[in-house]
Amino acid sequence: MTATHFAAAATGQWRITSITATAGATLPGAACLSIDGAPRDAAWTLRGTPSNLRYTTAQERTGLVARQEGIGRPQATRAALIPIAKSDTWWALAQDERRAIYMAGGHYAIGLDYLPAIARKLYHCRDLGGEPFDFLTWFEFAPEHEAAFDAMLVRLRAGAEWDYVTREVDIRLTRVA
Amino acid sequence: MTATHFAAAATGQWRITSITATAGATLPGAACLSIDGAPRDAAWTLRGTPSNLRYTTAQERTGLVARQEGIGRPQATRAALIPIAKSDTWWALAQDERRAIYMAGGHYAIGLDYLPAIARKLYHCRDLGGEPFDFLTWFEFAPEHEAAFDAMLVRLRAGAEWDYVTREVDIRLTRVA
């Protein structure tokens, strides 16, 4: 597995339209987000690795696969990159305890409600060492689905899982034509 | 989380007594294993991060904590470093599928049988990128428990979980006085 690099810089595949911290410190602004472009002028670079499933069961995966669409759809000209860090308390929990909180907060069911409009890809960074976040989640959608995306975030953030979120930044993007 | 570096070199805290591949390619020999010493003459360096629990439930953790002892005990002058890689098939399984294979193979129960004699610490490396193994497991024990340790490995390797192991190297060590 190779880490994907997301860099805020003067040029890139996506134009940054807003950066909003919803927990903890924000990230500096920049004109664009460059994915694996290694720009020399990066204001910041976040790294993450697409990894194996951590909570999803085989049955749940079947439910997701039946409805989800991949990233890169032509109509999906809007995106969000949402880096999240969770507390030491979260990471000290056993697997079943974390899974129970994840399910009680409705994380799986809420995500399913927004398929296939919202495409999603998760990158892990906690084990990389030196990264300021634990996960980077990439979302892609058509402009007419951005309000639904906002509603999804409100629902997710209301769950008990978010009590363990110590830092979260919402970076909105528009694809460079 | 910072990655721990295990380097095979001319000097180090542990003397290498044997290197045996039980699946896939072996690793080159060296006199010693240096932990976080950054030797310039390293024959190889493996990196891994102590991470969160991936399969253990809260109840199982209670069982482990009641019996296990930490690494660094004075009488534990023998050690083994066992790097393991698993197949793409394993990593494509959902969480419950991997957990079921882990439990069916008796991994948890077998490990419990050898506590507190065998101390264990697990490092993850799959998400680091560029590492040849997925995990590095470090074991420490007194010389009189090495036969029990060998018996434990035979039992673990007989389980279905090991059908997914594509590379495994068993590096035995004696603490440098």
Work out the pLDDT band at B59, boundaries 50, 70, 90.
very high
Mean pLDDT of A137-153: 98
Mean pLDDT of B81-99: 97
**Whole-complex ipTM:** 0.87
- Is A94's CB within 8 Å of B1's CB? no
Please say if the pLDDT value at position B1 is more than 80: no
**Which positions ≥6 away from A107 have C-beta within 8 Å?**
A156, A159, A161
What is the pLDDT at residue A159? 95
Pairing assessment for the beta strands B78-86 and B165-175 based on DSSP bridges: antiparallel
Chain B contact probe: residue of A98, A122, A127 with most B CBs at under 10 A: A127
Enumerate the residues of chain B whose CB falls inside 8 A of the CB of residue A128.
49, 127-129
Enumerate the residues of chain B whose CB falls inside 8 A of the CB of residue A59.
96
Enumerate the residues of chain A whose CB falls inside 8 A of the CB of residue B99.
95
Hey, which bits of chain B come out as E strands?
A: 4-9, 14-23, 32-35, 44-48, 78-86, 119-124, 135-141, 165-175
Work out the pLDDT band at A177, boundaries 50, 70, 90.
confident
Q: How many CB pairs under 8 A join A and B?
A: 77
Task: Pick the most confident of A100-109, B78-87, B123-132.
Answer: B78-87
- Residue A89 DSSP SS3: helix
State phi, psi for A146 to the nearest 5 degrees.
Answer: -65, -35
Distance CA B62, CA B138 (A): 21
Positive or negative, the CA dihedral A7, A11, A12, A16 is positive
Q: What Å distances lie between residue A98 and A163, A165, B50, CA to CA?
A: 12, 13, 18
Distance CA B62, CA B173 (A): 30
Work out the pLDDT band at B177, boundaries 50, 70, 90.
confident
Pairing assessment for the beta strands B78-86 and B135-141 based on DSSP bridges: antiparallel
